Structure 1
Amino acid sequence: MKRFPLITILTTILAFCCLAVSSRAMAIQHYRQSTVPTIFVHGWGSSARAEDKMARAAQRAGVTKTIVRANVDRQGKVSFDRNIPKGAINPIVEVNLADNKLSHYKDNYTAGYHHGGTYVKNVVKALADCKK
């Protein structure tokens, strides 16, 4: 009689563990497998650190194994902290803008945001150049 509650508890724990593993495996199957990078861009005044939690969560979920940082200097020059391996599945590129407040455009926010878009465009171009 004393074993019944223990067996019930152990069986319940085992069932939950199996369910968790099964649901995680099913979730991974639903991700589209692609070699096209996903680009994460932080907001005004922030940095790539703001993107880390989201990128790491995708990595833990099995969506990707590859996270690369693209640093963009104030002149728009892009440098990567490492290369994206050929054939990497769902690579993530965290963009880090040195001019994260668009400091030269305090009086003209529209022009500032346009210039910020140029930074992101430079990242896309640099990624395309890496594929060649």
Structure 2
Amino acid sequence: MKKKWFYFSIILLFMAGLTGCGMLSQRASSTNTASSKTAAQTSRKAETPYLQSTTPTFYVHGFHGSARSTNTLISYAEKQTGAQKVLVATVASNGQLTFSGEWSKNIMNPIIQVVFSNNVAVYDSQSAWLQAVISELATKYGFTQYNVVAHSAGNVATVNMLMTADKPANFPKIAKFVSIAGCYDGVITVDDVVNQNYFTSSGAPAYEHAAYVLLDGKRQNFPNGVHILNMIGDLNDGSHSDGLVSNVSARSLKYLIRGHQADYTEKVFSGSNAQHSELHENSQVATAVDQYLWGNPNYQQAKK
């Protein structure tokens, strides 16, 4: 009788062991499956050249500019990254705002094209108009950060806006700023001369023109933590300029933001396609803008 109970106990223990092994096997299988799914998702994300974000990007033209000034850049962004122009914000000469288009929450990499009806207005006016556009849309759509891509004087208007202390309490934070041919310290044939200006040992431009002096006077208001890509044109014709803006004028942005915690990068484009107005039609410029705003840093690593 004792032998029967002994053998019976052994059988029960053996069966219990099989059950436990089965449960462990199932748990291990589930864990492996979950890990595989996570790895697959990470792999797919790494294989995507451009990331998707709900952060809006505002495209701003310069003096004498129009929607044409940013149409090509926006078209490249839509084709290359899946971005979508959701709104055109038109500002009348009296500051009245008109919005056309449709912006739904599920749209990734949304773009707002800003158009000033008075495209030769002073910087202060364009800065105030740009701030009004961003403020009204932030109130309506609830975004807390934004990007700006600007050309020529649109950059001065943008930086002037960023340096203006008087903003609504809920005004969103700028994340990335792409400056193309920024005329921060003079325009050739207007208030600058070819090959006249240069940087002193302190990093300051030797000749500081009126607009630059005004900006430098309120630089303390420039926000911290901004990622900046400063794109500069050089015709390679000895003028050290894009035909209208000298390299020193464009690069003087760096000195304006001294003392601030900014991630600052410069990129120079050379040749005939680097002429002032050609820069916003240049495919290399457009690609550099798209990669800076939405490029996936893990993409190239995944391809290796």
Give me the TM-score of the superposition, normalised by structure 1: 0.66
Could you say which residue in structure 1 is the equivalent of 2:74? 55
- Tell me if the contact between 2:84 and 2:110 (Cα under 8 Å) persists in the aligned partners: yes
1:31 matches 2:41: no
Which of 108, 133, 156 is the aligned partner of 1:123? 133
* Structure 2 residue matching 1:80: 3-state secondary structure: strand
Q: Runs of 4+ in structure 1 displaced over 3 angstroms?
A: 25-28
- Tell me if the contact between 1:28 and 1:61 (Cα under 8 Å) persists in the aligned partners: no
1:73 matches 2:92: yes
- Between the two proteins, what is the percent identity of the paired residues? 28
| Structure 1 or 2: more helix by fraction | 1
Looking at structure 2, the residues matched to 32 and 123 of structure 1 have their Cα atoms a distance apart, in angstroms, of 25
* Structure 2 residue matching 1:61: 3-state secondary structure: helix
**Aligned partner letter, 1:36:** T
- 61-70 vs 76-85, greater mean Cα deviation: 61-70
- Listed as ranges, the gaps of 5+ residues in structure 1 are 1-24, 103-111
- Give deviations 1:42-98, integer Å, cap 9, x for gaps: 010110111100000010113313342111111222211112112210111110101
Looking at structure 1, the residues matched to 46 and 100 of structure 2 have their Cα atoms a distance apart, in angstroms, of 30
1:89 matches 2:108: yes
Looking at structure 2, the residues matched to 83 and 122 of structure 1 have their Cα atoms a distance apart, in angstroms, of 19
Aligned residue pairs: how many? 99
* Structure 1 residue matching 2:87: 3-state secondary structure: strand
Give me the TM-score of the superposition, normalised by structure 2: 0.30
Looking at structure 2, the residues matched to 100 and 126 of structure 1 have their Cα atoms a distance apart, in angstroms, of 21
Looking at structure 2, the residues matched to 28 and 66 of structure 1 have their Cα atoms a distance apart, in angstroms, of 25
Which of 110, 113, 123 is the aligned partner of 1:113? 123
* Structure 2 residue matching 1:66: 3-state secondary structure: strand
Looking at structure 1, the residues matched to 51 and 124 of structure 2 have their Cα atoms a distance apart, in angstroms, of 31
Query: Higher Cα Rg: structure 1 or 2?
Result: 2
* Structure 2 residue matching 1:29: 3-state secondary structure: coil
Looking at structure 1, the residues matched to 119 and 54 of structure 2 have their Cα atoms a distance apart, in angstroms, of 28
Which of 36, 41, 63 is the aligned partner of 1:44? 63
